[in-house]
A and B are shown apart, each in its own frame.
Chain A
Amino acid sequence: MAAVLLCAALVAPVRAGAAGSRGTVLGSESVSGGTWAATAGPTSMTFTTNTYQTSTVTNTGTVALSAISYKVTIANPASGSPTFKVFACAVAWVSNLCSGGTGTQAGGTLTKNTITTVTSTVVPAVGGKVYLQVEPSGVSASVTVTLGTSITSPTQLRAAVKTNR
């Protein structure tokens, strides 16, 4: 007998699994961060008498300030107990006066052989200057005073700005 073979090909339908589709959009914006910095000049003053000396502070940053700190280092003289005060003025001192007045003191009375940070709210505008006057008292021997600037964000920067575009 001839063998009769019936082949029935059963082909399962192939359904490709649908991969997850995504819609994507892109937005772009450029942004820059500002800088906060200031320099003093001169930074070192030597006192042999009670004559006042000045230093000019320049805002070299791009962000306006609300305060600025000064690190005042007073050396130990060979003798005596001098004290010092630091005053700030928005304009240059004339005859030890700030626009005819005393200026604004930063911190308190500083003594010999100390390192003290004092803060002033008399601040230079961006690119602008303020003027410090160091006023000694009781100087009887040579003593050196060194000034340094310090600006800390965000507390000593201008108030935060909210922009809506």
Chain B
Amino acid sequence: MHQHHHTRTKTRRHGRAVVAGLFAMSVGLLTTAGVYAALSGVATGSESVTSATLNLTLSPDVGVGFSNFTGAMAPGDTDNVYVNLNNTGSLATAAGMTLWVAGTPANALTNGTAPGEGLTVTATQCSVAWTLAGVCGGTTTPILATAPISTMNTAGTAVSLSNVPSLVATTGKVAHVQVSLGLLGAETSTNGVAPTPTIQGLSTTLAYTFTEQQRVGTATNL
């Protein structure tokens, strides 16, 4: 009888071990599965956003604006055109803008290969529209001192135009700008022959690129 009791006890212990093992295994399985199964809560919010526009326009202020100059420039000559720069977008600009002038073909008029010679650019703003005689009936503001095109003939060498108040901070305002093209040239022709290098007898097409930058980004807390 005692031996039979021992056997029954042994059987119970064996059974419990099996159950425990099964239980442990199921917990392990549950745990493993539970790593991938997770409780999650989802919330959604909604807001409308409108992007602003940055748009710069160029148009004649008075006269024909940028167009072909038909005369033959001599050193000391000045060719003035009058243009309006207008930020017609909804995004204000940063203070000032940049300008560079490319010449095609590139030659001594624009690339500095005749030292001390070549075309120059000057820009002046008027608080009101210019007259075709080159008179500003308001206040003039220099925005670019005379600069050789050879120093500003690529995007990488674009110069900053200072004091362009009409375009600062507020959209829809117009800057009335006189763009003056000049020619520097001190050279001597001998017995009918120009020196080498020379600015004489050259032609080029100038592309003026005005670029405005958007205003500094702002952080808004709603």
Contact = CB atoms under 8 A, between A and B. Distances in A.
Interface in B68-86: 68-69, 71-83, 85
Interface residues of A, number: 52
B30 A2 contact: yes
A164 B85 CA distance: 18
Nearest to B187: A153
B141 interface: no
A150 B209 CA distance: 39
Given A3-B34, A4-B34, A163-B79, A32 B210 contact: no
Q: How large is the interface on B (under 10, 10 to 19, 20 to 34, 35 or more residues)?
A: 35 or more
A161 interface: yes
A26 B209 contact: yes
Given A23-B93, A25-B57, A30 B73 contact: no
B191 A30 contact: no
B15 interface: no
Interface stretch (A35-43, A48-56, A85-93, A101-109): A35-43
Interface string B111-143: 000000001000000000000111000000000
Contact of B200 (A27, A33, A159): A33
B199 A33 contact: yes
A100 interface: no
A78 interface: no
Of listed A7, A27, A36, residue having the most chain B CB within 10 A: A27
Interface of A: 1-9, 18, 20-40, 43, 60-63, 148-154, 157-165
Given A32-B203, A152-B187, A154-B185, A3 B72 contact: no
Given A5-B34, A24-B209, A152-B186, A33 B78 contact: no
21 contacts: A1-B27, A5-B37, A20-B213, A22-B213, A23-B55, A23-B87, A24-B211, A25-B209, A26-B58, A27-B65, A27-B81, A29-B66, A29-B205, A31-B68, A33-B203, A149-B190, A152-B188, A153-B74, A161-B74, A161-B78, A163-B79
A164 B71 contact: no
Given A22-B213, A33-B202, A37-B192, A163 B63 contact: no
A2 B80 CA distance: 86
Given A5-B34, A23-B55, A35 B27 contact: no
Contact of A7 (B38, B56, B72, B217): B38
A2 B34 CA distance: 8
A1 B64 CA distance: 87
B41 interface: yes
B172 interface: no
B200 A31 contact: no
B75 to A, nearest CB: 4
B188 A150 contact: yes
Contacts of B41: 8
